[in-house]
Structure 1
Amino acid sequence: MKLFLWSICLLGVLVYKGSCLQVRYDGDQVLKITPQTSAQAQLLQELTSNWLLDLWNPDMVEDISTLREVHVRVPFSYVDQMKEKLLQQAIPFTVMINDVQKLIDKSTRSKSNTLPMSLENYDYKQYHPMEEIYEWMEHIKEKHSDLVSQHYLGNTYEKRPIYYFKIGWPSDKQKKLVVMDCGIHAREWIAVAFCQWFVKVIIEKHQNDPILTNALKQVDFYIIPVLNVDGYIYSWTHERLWRKNRSPQGNGTCYGVDLNRNFNSQWCSVGASRNCSSFTFCGPEPASELETKALVALMEPVKSNILSYLTIHSYGQYILLPFGYTYQPSENHAELTKVAETAAAKIKGVHNKIYTVGSSSVVLYNNSGSSADWAGDLKIKLSYTFELRDNGTYGFQLPPDQIAPTCEENTVAVMSIIEYLNENYLENNAVVVSSVWLNVILSCAICMYFTLTH
């Protein structure tokens, strides 16, 4: 019987990508709940803890509070009980996702392309499993070797390589850096899709966009398409809503660390758990994980050259500033806010989506040990967390038909940050302006010469 089931499963993998998940969510619902009183908030905390419910927003049970919207996945076995208790206590709620598994099936069941993969037929409007992303990276580095190089970042616990792209024109001078990480949280597939989309945009537009052309002469982009490789693969093959990496914890009693709680930035002080079974488990110590160690090893030696650090996540539609662990603003809070608000305005101009700007602790929730806060602690000028679409209608299962618009609007936002860097931090910008005025003066002199001599 097992052989028969595995045969069916294998057939599903050959025909449909990602349809062989071992953990299923049939009948699970995601509820939007807004407690009106402290007693209602306390009850919701107790239910979430006792039933080990998967909180989507906020991350921590302790952050459930009065008048704060809560998104929580309720297993089918608890759905009726949950709704009954909410109704008994007059706690307002609505159903955001009626059947989680149906939404997952819709997002993952894309028929395989029988053609050999090439950059010409690579579909940026679909989610891709890790083996295809590895292959895509190989094609990118081979076809665009003049601009792009692929580098080894480190290994995961399961011995898989983590790679990053270095994108920029060769230079004899010390170049500035913009660093982007994607896929820290395994289930946030849209973040991984965005990294690939952004690489494509740089390659396609670098010769026709003067700002990008100028930036690539002085800036190298370090782009990590998938940092949490093990977790991302696990979300395709076993458990679609897996979040952490896959390192064994608690003497093998549980698995995984939330990599975005594992950096040495007020590590595990707030908004993180020391319980290895929690989705927000911060790890046994700061930078305990191979993925975190690898990123730290990459950035620490060059931190003084990094102009911007961007970490890409979902969901909620935010551009978050440091810090999550304190309400105290960063030293350059005004600059960070100005740049982020410009980026949010650019986003709204594309598909009319509103992204909220502010420090994580103020507009979202408290958290510590994140990569963006760690970058902020390193005094990197422009450090942001981008929380992509949506506001909860689909949550972590954003349908493939929203990949393109999500990537389009956030590409414009990131390009606005690059434009700001170009105007304020890149030396050649002044040279370019001087050259323009020199040409104007020279043209005027030539005109005067011909006027006087004829």
Structure 2
Amino acid sequence: MHRKIPKTSSTKPAIFMDCGIHAREWITPAFCQWFVNEALNTYGSDSQMTSLLDEMDVYVLPLFNVDGYHYTHTNDRMWRKTRSRNSGYSCVGTDPNRNFDAGWCTLGASSYPCSDTYCGSTPESEIEVKNVANFIRSKKSVIKAYLTMHSYSQLLLFPYSYTYDLAADNDELMALAEGASNALRSLYNTRYTSGPGATTIYPAAGGSDDWAYDLGVKYSFTFELRDTGRYGFLLPESQIKPTCEETMLAVKYIAAYVQKNLY
């Protein structure tokens, strides 16, 4: 018999996790839904999940870029950006993961509205980004970890992406990322590479993980889920379950570490 999950508290330390910031990365909203389902159905029977939810709040945003995601189902499966209008241009949308106020519109971002990596007219110009940033700022005193789910490439990244400089906590973040990657690999032998975003994948200014880290959320990570290019964004349905199962191990590893290092 499962116990009732504790209600959120204004003082409990918390983890914030989002999925679907890029519209075409369909495996990521699937993972956020998987996490919520596991939390609901294993609380009271899984000791680690029970301990986590007793001691911490977990805020889950299952679908960051709602309008873009809908557009991938109706018009263009490969759409990436938001669906906001750009003044003076017929092309629409901003890359929400170039729209945060972290080295905004410098390395790896475009000021051209028709680009897939368009940074927006100003930092937080996108309503989706503004609302997430406002929420995290409002909970700044309690949010201890920020996890954002992307695909694809099988990477576990951490700040920085907007600069080649290493984060102050680089060594600890690298050790934690490698531990989480090993936990993930233990299930299906899926290999992940860990490292700072700029040098591990490519430089990219305006990302949510860099912004959260600079705000003071020390344990800030970007997951790039399966695969490494065979299917890319078109990951087959048969891989949803194993991807979610293995990713869950990495997320629980990070959560357990944060839980142990709260005080």
> What's the CA shift string for 1:60-89, capped at 9, x where partnerless?
xxxxxxxxxxxxxxxxxxxxxxxxxxxxxx
Residue number in structure 2 paired with 1:420: 257
Runs of 4+ in structure 1 deviating by more than 6 angstroms, as ranges, are none
Residue number in structure 2 paired with 1:357: 194
Q: CA deviation at 1:244?
A: 0.4
Change in Cα spacing, 1:254 to 1:172, as seen in structure 2 (3 Å) is closer
> What's the CA shift string for 1:352-385, capped at 9, x where partnerless?
0110000011111000101111011112120000
1:206 aligns with 2:37: no
1:178 aligns with 2:22: no
**What residue identity is the alignment partner of 2:51?**
N
Distance across 2 between alignment mates of 1:422 and 1:321: 19
1:397 aligns with 2:234: yes
Distance across 2 between alignment mates of 1:392 and 1:338: 26
Residue number in structure 2 paired with 1:342: 179
* Aligned 8 A contact 1:212 1:418 in 2: no
| Percent identity of paired positions between Structure 1 and Structure 2 | 45
Matched position secondary structure for 1:342: helix
Alignment of 1:144-293 (within 5 A): 146-147=4-5, 169-170=6-7, 174-293=11-130
Change in Cα spacing, 1:171 to 1:367, as seen in structure 2 (3 Å) is closer
Q: C-alpha root-mean-square deviation of aligned residues, in Å?
A: 1.6
* 1:312 paired residue among 149, 155, 170: 149
* Aligned 8 A contact 1:178 1:221 in 2: yes
Distance across 2 between alignment mates of 1:364 and 1:347: 19
* Aligned 8 A contact 1:337 1:357 in 2: yes
* Aligned 8 A contact 2:219 2:258 in 1: no
Matched position secondary structure for 2:139: helix
* Aligned 8 A contact 1:344 1:354 in 2: yes
Matched position secondary structure for 1:240: coil
- Length, aligned pairs only: 262
Distance across 1 between alignment mates of 2:10 and 2:21: 32
Q: CA deviation at 1:329?
A: 1.3
> What's the CA shift string for 1:93-141, capped at 9, x where partnerless?
xxxxxxxxxxxxxxxxxxxxxxxxxxxxxxxxxxxxxxxxxxxxxxxxx
Higher relative contact order structure (alpha carbons within 8 Å, sequence separation ≥ 6): 2
Distance across 2 between alignment mates of 1:145 and 1:250: 52
Matched position secondary structure for 2:51: helix
Gaps in structure 2 of 5+ consecutive residues: none
* Aligned 8 A contact 2:24 2:72 in 1: yes
Residue number in structure 2 paired with 1:64: none
Matched position secondary structure for 1:304: coil
Distance across 1 between alignment mates of 2:259 and 2:167: 22
* Aligned 8 A contact 2:3 2:43 in 1: no
Distance across 2 between alignment mates of 1:229 and 1:383: 23
Distance across 2 between alignment mates of 1:222 and 1:280: 27
Q: CA deviation at 1:250?
A: 3.4
Change in Cα spacing, 1:171 to 1:181, as seen in structure 2 (3 Å) is closer
* Aligned 8 A contact 1:389 1:398 in 2: yes
Structure richer in helix, relative to its length: 1
Alignment of 1:69-218 (within 5 A): 146-147=4-5, 169-170=6-7, 174-218=11-55
Distance across 1 between alignment mates of 2:96 and 2:209: 12
Distance across 1 between alignment mates of 2:260 and 2:72: 41
Q: Return the TM-score normalized by structure 1.
A: 0.56
